[in-house]
Amino acid sequence: MQRIGFIGLGAMGLPMAVNLLAKGYPVIGFDTQDRPAFVQAGGRVTGTVKDLVAEANIIITMLPNGPAVLEVAESQVLAHARRGQVLIDCSTIGVPSARKLHAMAADRGVAVLDAPVTGGVAGAQAGTLTIMVGGDETVFAGMRDVLLSMGSKLVYAGAAGNGQAVKICNNMAAGIIKIAISEAFVLARQLGVDEKIFFEVAAAGSAQSFALTRTCPVPGLVENSPSSRDYTNGFATNLMLKDMVLAQEAAMASGAATVLGGAATHLYQLCANAGLGERDNGIIYQYLSGKSA
Ligand code: NAD
């Protein structure tokens, strides 16, 4: 069986690694923070990425952003990698960083898949993520079982970087929709409508969306939404902002007009500037309602 090294055991990486363990893969983990839950689930941690790379055939990264992935890849993974190893980056890092990663690894004989995910922390826990993959199709075919241990839907998106291209388009839309849902709740409250009543109608009507029924920004309406646990262990506003900026950069470079994407980016920036960057992005609802809980 393949031996997997997993780097980045945060809100997403931890449940993804735990699902690989549950499928019987030996998983060696590394994170700059202590992650006792990984060890409790049967994982083994290493003190250095060098040791992880020495033991693993497949290395998965789930890190915050492009600079972190490129830094870890260049100075720690690829510096010790062997020809024939596969590096799967599941982080959201944008197209240029992904293509740089593919090129850096090719120089070392290491195959890369850019394999960002969607489905949130709940999807990572349930193993129901959708994973969109860019890179060599034969390498992708060889990694299907590993990827299906973390997600339930795989989409091959094409050449190097295309997984990231799909992901930032998805997240730009998701970021806009989260704000649309939040504004509707703010308006409903201003009009004296109970949040539960609006939720009931919208969830059964044309505003139905992941942002409403899975990651509802209003606390107490959806049990496993990060808002219902005080906007913790979700998708941080800073990470949402990073993805919105990646989409805006791509839009500028490609000539796509993304007016609402631009406006949404500025709103998340204001929310982060208000000191809410570490909270789940549903906090935008509190920010828009003037409460900033
Ligand atoms: P997170 O901040 O919870 O986890 C990142 C982990 O990486 C942390 O445990 C951190 O300690 C670790 N880390 C940072 N630098 C490191 C380094 N140099 N070496 C080793 N470990 C390091 O973030 P997350 O929410 O798990 O997101 C990870 C990635 O997944 C991001 O790119 C994000 O955009 C993407 N993503 C997140 C969600 C979500 O709902 N949270 C959904 C889809 C995609």
Which domain CATH number covers 94? 3.40.50.720
Q: Say which residues have a Cβ less than 8 Å from residue 19's Cβ, sequence separation at least 6.
A: 124, 127, 149, 150
The answer to whether 167 is a known catalytic residue is: yes
Reply yes or no on whether the pLDDT at 41 is more than 80: yes
Instruction: Tell which of 160, 184, 207 closes a domain.
Output: 160
| Domain co-membership, 17 together with 137 | yes
pLDDT tens across 153-165, in order? 999 999 999 999 9
| Domain co-membership, 156 together with 189 | no
| Domain co-membership, 176 together with 216 | yes
What CA–CA distance (Å, rounded) separates 272 from 99?
28
SS3 state at 183: helix
Position 1 scores a pLDDT of 76
Average pLDDT over residues 67-80: 97
| Domain co-membership, 139 together with 253 | no
Instruction: Tell which of 143, 160, 177 closes a domain.
Output: 160
Could you tell which of 14, 16, 18, 31 is best to mutate to test the pocket of ligand 1, judged by most ligand atoms within 8 Å of the CB? 31
Structure tokens at 109: 């004989």
CB atoms inside a 10 Å sphere around CB 82? 11
Position 291 scores a pLDDT of 72
Active-site residue, selected from the candidate residues 23, 153, 167, 291: 167
**What global pTM score does this model have?**
0.96
Tell me which H or E stretch contains 210.
helix 210-213
Cβ(235) to ligand 1 under 6 A? yes
Burial profile 120-138: b = 16 or more Cβ within 10 angstroms, e = fewer? bbbbbbebebbbbbbbbee
* Nearest of 83, 81, 25 to residue 49 by alpha carbon: 81
Which parts of 48-94 fold into alpha helices (H)? 49-55, 66-72
| Domain co-membership, 122 together with 85 | yes
Which parts of 56-160 fold into alpha helices (H)? 66-72, 95-106, 120-126, 137-142, 144-148
Reply yes or no on whether the pLDDT at 21 is more than 80: yes
Could you tell which of 6, 7, 12 is best to mutate to test the pocket of ligand 1, judged by most ligand atoms within 8 Å of the CB? 12
pLDDT tens across 182-212, in order? 999 999 999 999 999 999 999 999 999 999 9
* Nearest of 292, 289, 252, 257 to residue 272 by alpha carbon: 292
Position 119 scores a pLDDT of 95
Instruction: Tell which of 112, 131, 160 closes a domain.
Output: 160
Work out the percent of the chain whose per-residue pLDDT is above 90: 99
| Ligand 1 centroid to residue 117 C-alpha, Å | 12
Position 236 scores a pLDDT of 98
Reply yes or no on whether the pLDDT at 94 is more than 60: yes
| Domain co-membership, 151 together with 226 | no
Cα atoms in the Cβ-side hemisphere of radius 13 Å centred on 248 = 18
| Domain co-membership, 150 together with 250 | no
Reply yes or no on whether the pLDDT at 293 is more than 70: no
Cα atoms in the Cβ-side hemisphere of radius 13 Å centred on 60 = 30
Residue carrying the six token digits 């339930």: 152
| Domain co-membership, 131 together with 28 | yes
| Domain co-membership, 15 together with 140 | yes
In the chain, the number of structural domains is 2
| Domain co-membership, 97 together with 150 | yes
* Nearest of 92, 102, 6 to residue 49 by alpha carbon: 6
Q: For residue 221, give the CATH number of its domain.
A: 1.10.1040.10
**Does ipTM top 0.95?**
yes
Q: Which atom of ligand 1 is nearest to the CA of 92?
A: 32
Please give the residue range of the domain that contains residue 128.
4-160
Cβ(119) to ligand 1 under 6 A? no
pLDDT tens across 218-230, in order? 999 999 999 999 9
Model confidence band, residue 35 (pLDDT cutoffs 50, 70, 90): very high
| Domain co-membership, 173 together with 142 | no
Phi, psi of 90 (to 5 degrees): -100, -5
- On the 0-12 / 13-18 / 19+ scale of CB atoms within 10 A, 253 is exposed
| Domain co-membership, 244 together with 217 | yes
Position 292 scores a pLDDT of 56
Q: Are 240 and 171 in contact (CB under 8 A)?
A: yes
